[in-house]
Structure 1
Amino acid sequence: MSEEGEPSDRKKYEFRKVIEDLKDYEGSGTQLVTIYIPADKQVSDVVAHVTQEHSEASNIKSKQTRTNVQDALTSIKDRLRYYDTFPPENGTVLFSGAIDTGGGRTDMITKVLDSPPEPIQSFRYHCDSEFLTEPLENMMADKGLYGLVVLDRREANVGWLKGKRVEPVKSASSLVPGKQRKGGQSAQRFARLRLEAIDNFYQEVAEMANELFVPERGEMDGVLVGGPSPTKDEFLDGDYLHHEIQDKVIGKFDVAYTDESGLYDLVDSAQEALADAEVMKDKREMEEFFAELNGGELATYGFEPTRRNLVMGSVDRLLLSEDLRKDVVVYDCGDQEEFEFVDQRADTPAHTCDDGSEAEVAEREDAIEHLMNIADQRGTETKFISTDFEKGEQLQSAFGGVAGILRYSTGV
């Protein structure tokens, strides 16, 4: 899916890094404060809430916890002064508290995330021994736009699955008569009228779905259809849907209910198909990479070869494992720079230059940011690859989490 306004790969990675850092922090007792502020929440109301919480914190029995909570709230209140009447687009999230740094020591931190990847839905104030990151993690989960249809011969509902959020949109009830015919009607005539009513209802459901889905067909990742058998089979086999929407159907599933709750049941039943559809994008990238690796000349892998190709501008797509957690250490070796690829938690290693001299460390930075900076400068597209399938896991385990598909062969 490529929605207008969707955050870039770089933005997604930066948010993911911040979330990982926040999840590592711990506080002694309930003294880490998290506040989620939606875009339509007046800052003055938030300030009033924080002021009230600061006052109530004076009742905390532990002096250290009381002091830390009040200091965190004061820091948040100071940050809120930078906003006008409302927070930025999509809202803002503030984190503040005294985190444990070991040896009985703490360090007060305050972090602000403006305009997260998706709009914040509601105001939340949270005070605990950990920062509240789950809403942000849900925003960073794999996204998708799927059309949903559930129907039987009595009713139907149509809606969206946007990311993890189900949105019911339209519903319809049928005039299909029951299987028992009314008195005075021949069995043949009754059967014909019933089939006509079923056909008319299927057309009505298809019209609802087409009106909703066709304008978004370029952004949709697929369509899911649910209901009892044989209803859903008749509906799909009858080609009632617009041909472009019919082509996007990725599965049909048995669903007992066809009211709004049926849309949620449909998503639950389709989890395996949804996971396969999401990871298929990554699979296609890796299949192309392995095809070039085994029979072509347009594959590069490993940090140093891929970096050299990036600098040359020969990489069309940079493939990075989502589980890559490495740093790049840049060493000053006189008239040139040399590099080492190291674990993020490892100490910076000593390095001997090619000429035998002892190198000085010029810089150490996140490997993904290092490579993406070069990719941005060269017009190279960056793709993050999941490890939830075999070839994605091989990118991490066998190729160091870094590979690329070239524009042209370089021999590097």
Structure 2
Amino acid sequence: MQSSEVQDKLTFEELLPVTDIDIRSLAEIYDEQDIYLSVYLPVSGRENEHLNRIFVDSRVSAIKKALDPEIRSEFEKTFEIAEFSIFDSPISGEKGRIIFASSKASFLHVYKLAVEPEQSFVLDTSPYLLPLARLRADYEDYGVLLVDSQEAKFTCIRSDIAEEKKHLSTDLMNKHKKGGWSQARFNHLRKGAIKSFLTEVAENAQGTCDQLQTKGLILAGPGEAKQQLMELMPQEMQHKVLGVIDVPIDIPRDELVEAGNAVLQETRQSESRDAAEKLKSEILKGGLAAHGIEDVKAALEQARVNTLLILNDSSVAGWLCERCQNLQVSANPPEECDRCGGPASAVDIVEELYELAQRSGAEVEFVEKEDFLDSDDVVGALLRY
């Protein structure tokens, strides 16, 4: 099968923010057999090109050896439709690539990213989404408002792609001319002009944030203008400010992204710690919480989970019957489901719980080991009821 015969084909020729990938729709896809290939690769530089070929060849060989002849044939067809997209040269600015493919389902989705995923090459009953979920957690959309007393630039940063959305400026007389106004009157008028300008900036920033639906806003720039701007913002807008940083007004775009990402990372870590602390508190008082795979799985199946907490980089071996959705922890899957007799496929339990969360509309937080969850209880849940 050639890629031109693929019916559900989605290939982006420009860099795509990870938040634009419809992960919920991908979570709805599954089959009774292992027919979906998921590939995550860092693609920038010749070294990655060489390492990717070695990695992919190794995984293809290993997967072929593990499959029975019928599924092996489907895998070979799937790899054929995905191979060009896997090894195609990166476009300008591309650092990572994600490919989901299935020959049987006539399905090929290719996403080119400005951020770098870890190598992964998985054949499963559905697209493998945990690496994408972790990227989305690390690279949420946010705005940076770069401001001084005369100029303001609103830049939206999406997966390290910086797009300037607004640029405002004002003309201020910076030197008092001899024979003109008194210095006191000049200073008073100048302060009034600055306040008027910053008020306009605050109004524009609120409208832009609402329109773009960003996670929040970082105030950046030299001097005191950003603090004055903060004071002029309505309280609702102040709550969206993730941080305030001192940078030059002419800071290069890549340095602005780096500084903004550092603030975002601190915010993410704080939110994860808060969620883990809330989970701990609810468990201790017997409140709306579940922990451990079995309890969390049951709550997800009943659509009772408000927030699923996952220990970062965790993985648990198990099996799933795609016919009846029987999900069990086990290092050795049976030949058939003990509930309905359907085919049992080896899965990562954490991946399956994440997909259940997506299907039921639950939020997901990735937390670190020191934030309460551990290798014995890799998942927890804050419940709706």
Is TM > 0.5 for Structure 1 vs Structure 2?
A: yes
d(CA) in 2 for partners of 1:27, 1:229? 42
Partners of 2:143 and 2:157 within 8 A in 1: yes
Q: Deviations over 1:340-395 (max 9, x none)?
A: 444xxxxx399xxxxxxxxxx96533213554576678x473625232x721xx42
Question: Does 2:215 correspond to 1:221?
Answer: yes
d(CA) in 1 for partners of 2:162, 2:192? 32
Question: Does 2:377 correspond to 1:390?
Answer: no
Q: Deviations over 1:3-23 (max 9, x none)?
A: 786422964999xx9346999
Partners of 2:292 and 2:379 within 8 A in 1: yes
- How far off is 1:298 after superposition? 3.5
Could you say which structure has the larger radius of gyration?
A: 1
Q: 1:293 aligns with which of 249, 260, 283?
A: 283
d(CA) in 2 for partners of 1:198, 1:290? 48
The alignment yields a C-alpha RMSD, in angstroms, of: 4.9
Q: Deviations over 1:20-49 (max 9, x none)?
A: 6999xx999789399xxxxxxxxxxxxxxx
Paired position in structure 2 for 1:230: 224
Tell me the TM-score normalized by structure 1.
0.56
Q: Structure 2 matches for 1:155-170, cutoff 5 A?
A: 155-170=151-166
d(CA) in 1 for partners of 2:26, 2:344? 24
- How far off is 1:181 after superposition? 0.9
Paired position in structure 2 for 1:174: 170
- Decide whether aligned partners of structure 1 residues 12 and 202 sit closer, same or farther in structure 2, where only a CA change above 3 A counts: farther
- How far off is 1:208 after superposition? 3.4
Please give the secondary structure, in 2, of the residue aligned with 1:395: coil
Q: Structure 2 matches for 1:72-91, cutoff 5 A?
A: 79=81
- How far off is 1:272 after superposition? 3.9
Q: 1:142 aligns with which of 135, 138, 143?
A: 138
Question: Does 2:246 correspond to 1:254?
Answer: yes
Q: 1:365 aligns with which of 341, 344, 347?
A: 347
Q: 1:405 aligns with which of 358, 376, 382?
A: 382
Partners of 1:150 and 1:262 within 8 A in 2: no
- How far off is 1:404 after superposition? 2.9
Output the amino acid matched with 2:367.
S
- Decide whether aligned partners of structure 1 residues 242 and 262 sit closer, same or farther in structure 2, where only a CA change above 3 A counts: farther
d(CA) in 2 for partners of 1:30, 1:147? 35
- Decide whether aligned partners of structure 1 residues 281 and 6 sit closer, same or farther in structure 2, where only a CA change above 3 A counts: farther
Question: Does 2:28 correspond to 1:8?
Answer: no
- Decide whether aligned partners of structure 1 residues 242 and 6 sit closer, same or farther in structure 2, where only a CA change above 3 A counts: farther
Q: Deviations over 1:199-230 (max 9, x none)?
A: 233234334323422434xx322111112222
- Decide whether aligned partners of structure 1 residues 197 and 382 sit closer, same or farther in structure 2, where only a CA change above 3 A counts: closer
Q: Structure 2 matches for 1:188-203, cutoff 5 A?
A: 188-203=184-199
- Decide whether aligned partners of structure 1 residues 310 and 177 sit closer, same or farther in structure 2, where only a CA change above 3 A counts: closer
Q: Deviations over 1:93-134 (max 9, x none)?
A: 72269xxxxxxxxxxxx9748335x6668xxxxxxxx99xxx
d(CA) in 1 for partners of 2:279, 2:226? 38
Paired position in structure 1 for 2:315: 325
Q: Deviations over 1:154-195 (max 9, x none)?
A: 3221221223222112223321111x3101122222222322
Equivalenced residue count is 297
d(CA) in 2 for partners of 1:328, 1:76? 24
Paired position in structure 1 for 2:91: none
Q: Deviations over 1:281-326 (max 9, x none)?
A: 4334322211121112443322344445556776555433342222
Partners of 2:137 and 2:366 within 8 A in 1: no
Question: Does 2:61 correspond to 1:32?
Answer: no
d(CA) in 2 for partners of 1:338, 1:181? 76
Please give the secondary structure, in 2, of the residue aligned with 1:171: strand
d(CA) in 2 for partners of 1:400, 1:194? 60
Structure 2 gaps of 5+ residues are 1-17, 31-36, 56-76, 89-98, 102-106, 115-119, 122-130, 335-342
- Decide whether aligned partners of structure 1 residues 189 and 277 sit closer, same or farther in structure 2, where only a CA change above 3 A counts: same
Partners of 1:95 and 1:111 within 8 A in 2: no
